[in-house]
Amino acid sequence: MESHNSESKSLTKKRMIIMLIVFVIVMGGIVGFNVFKQHAIKKYMSSMGIPPQTVTTTVVHYSEWIPTIDEVATLRALRGVNISTESAGLVKKVKFHSGQQVKKDQILLIINNDAEVAQLKVLKANLSLAKLVLERDRKQYHLKAISLAQLQSDEADYQSKVAQVQAQQALVEKKIIRAPFSGQIGITTVNPGQYINVGDKIATLQQTSPILVDFTVPQQQLRFLKTKQPISLTTDVWPKRVFKGEIDAISSEIDQATRNIAIQGAITNDQHQLLPGMFTMVHWQYGTAQSYLTLPQTAITFNPYGATVFIIKHPTESKLPVAQQVFITTGATRGDQVAVLSGIKEGDEVVTSGQLKLKTGIPVSISHLVEPTNNPAPTPQEH
């Protein structure tokens, strides 16, 4: 009985060994097949060749950068008022038209003042009579024909008549609306025969040459600020124009909410192409010029783990150049350009477009048929 059990155990042990051997042989065959398959694929790919990716490139050089701040700004008239009246009445004459350039003290509108003018004539006649009486009594006084009291009464009466004429003249002038300064009149809806009340708006008057521009800069730039510094202004209304000006005034305090300081600039506007309220961009240069390696923005890929570019390598064992991805540190931007602080060196050839399908080691074909924009001061493409 014991011999039978030992034979059974020996047989089972042999079967297990055989199954283990078979399993090892099968697994070895599978692994060997996969290795052979991968080797065959690599051999096939090497024989066929990976097609090169078409890219554009640029050679990195140093460019001189003048530190510049670009800020959104709003234009404001040098002087601007809503013209109104101190006196109510019917409009007699409107002596301007909408959009007209007017001069200082030019008559714009006359309110019916016939009664005031008539009263002024009466007072002027009384003044003339008082003047004649005074001149006659002065002669009489020198001849001792009248008393000093009579002469003084005549002088007081004359001065009273002068004051009455001046007061009435002021009432007449209140109904003659004049331009307080030279500028451009806005659109008016006032017409002759219309009744206007005290304080009613007649039109706007804006003096726009020069025109003021309001913008803010960070407090860190305060040490560079001073009046008379040159600034320039651009707007999408006139895409090909750069308007020149200078810093006119600097605020005496810094905004506690934004930590920015308000700046007022004066821009030359002789042709009246800029209007108050217009949206613009102000460009202010400060500090000394510096040299930076410069790349177009299209060459740089920004990722959560850093900014990268592809540089072109020309290995001796290959006829085609290959791409190599490197990390870089970027600095300031201006227009389409970015300053590179580290990661590349002058003379490196960098991919500027077509890098989406690139990986390190992939061969590339360089084309210069279509170059990406690389303008430090671009204008809107639609223009």
Spatial separation of the C-alpha atoms in residues 302 and 325, rounded to whole Å: 13
| Residue 124 burial class via C-beta count within 10 angstroms: exposed 0-12, middle 13-18, buried 19 and up | middle
Q: What residues form DSSP beta bridges with 313?
A: 322
DSSP 288: -
pLDDT over 70 at 35, yes or no:
no
**Stretch 15-38: mean pLDDT, rounded?**
67
Spatial separation of the C-alpha atoms in residues 372 and 354, rounded to whole Å: 11
Same CATH fold, 113-174 and 53-63+291-366? no
pLDDT over 80 at 372, yes or no:
no
Spatial separation of the C-alpha atoms in residues 152 and 149, rounded to whole Å: 5
Q: Choose between 26 and 364: higher pLDDT.
A: 364
Q: Choose between 30 and 279: higher pLDDT.
A: 279
DSSP string, 237-299: TEEEEEEEEEEEEEEEEE-TTT-EEEEEEEE--TT----TT-EEEEEEE-S--EEEEEEEGGG
Structure confidence at residue 44 as a pLDDT band (50, 70, 90): very low
Structure confidence at residue 373 as a pLDDT band (50, 70, 90): confident
Q: In residues, how long is the chain? A: 383
DSSP 363: B
Structure confidence at residue 382 as a pLDDT band (50, 70, 90): very low
Radius of gyration of the chain (CA): 45
Which residue is listed with tokens 């009489």? 140
pLDDT over 80 at 12, yes or no:
no
Q: Which two tokens stand for residue 230?
A: 């040159």
Spatial separation of the C-alpha atoms in residues 67 and 17, rounded to whole Å: 80
Predicted local distance difference test score (pLDDT) of residue 29: 67
**Stretch 14-23: mean pLDDT, rounded?**
74
Spatial separation of the C-alpha atoms in residues 340 and 353, rounded to whole Å: 17
Q: Where in the chain are the domains?
A: 53-63+291-366, 69-77+208-285, 113-174
pTM: 0.61
pLDDT over 70 at 123, yes or no:
yes
Predicted local distance difference test score (pLDDT) of residue 383: 41
Q: What percent of the chain has pLDDT over 70?
A: 86
Asked if 362 and 218 touch (Cβ cutoff 8 Å), the reply is: no
State pLDDT tens for residues 226-268.
899 999 999 989 888 899 999 999 999 999 999 999 999 999 9
- CATH number listed for the domain at residues 69-77+208-285: 2.40.30.170
For residue 55, give the nearest of 321, 337, 301 by alpha carbon: 321
Number of Cβ within a 10 Å radius of residue 240: 7
Q: Which two tokens stand for residue 12?
A: 């089972």
Q: Choose between 344 and 141: higher pLDDT.
A: 344
End-to-end, the C-alpha distance of the chain in Å comes to 105
Q: Which two tokens stand for residue 203?
A: 């039109």
Spatial separation of the C-alpha atoms in residues 245 and 197, rounded to whole Å: 41
Lowest mean pLDDT among 15-19, 218-222, 315-319: 315-319
Lowest mean pLDDT among 37-41, 289-293, 309-313: 37-41
**Stretch 95-121: mean pLDDT, rounded?**
92
pLDDT over 80 at 48, yes or no:
no
Pick the most confident of 28-32, 137-141, 161-165: 161-165
Spatial separation of the C-alpha atoms in residues 225 and 69, rounded to whole Å: 12
pLDDT over 70 at 218, yes or no:
yes
Bridging pattern class, strands 290-296 and 61-65: antiparallel
Predicted local distance difference test score (pLDDT) of residue 163: 95
Spatial separation of the C-alpha atoms in residues 285 and 379, rounded to whole Å: 19
**Stretch 260-284: mean pLDDT, rounded?**
91
Q: What percent of the chain has pLDDT over 90?
A: 47
Spatial separation of the C-alpha atoms in residues 39 and 43, rounded to whole Å: 6
Spatial separation of the C-alpha atoms in residues 316 and 362, rounded to whole Å: 15
Class of the CATH domain delimited by 113-174:
mainly alpha
Structure confidence at residue 41 as a pLDDT band (50, 70, 90): very low
Q: Does domain 53-63+291-366 have CATH number 3.30.70.940?
A: no
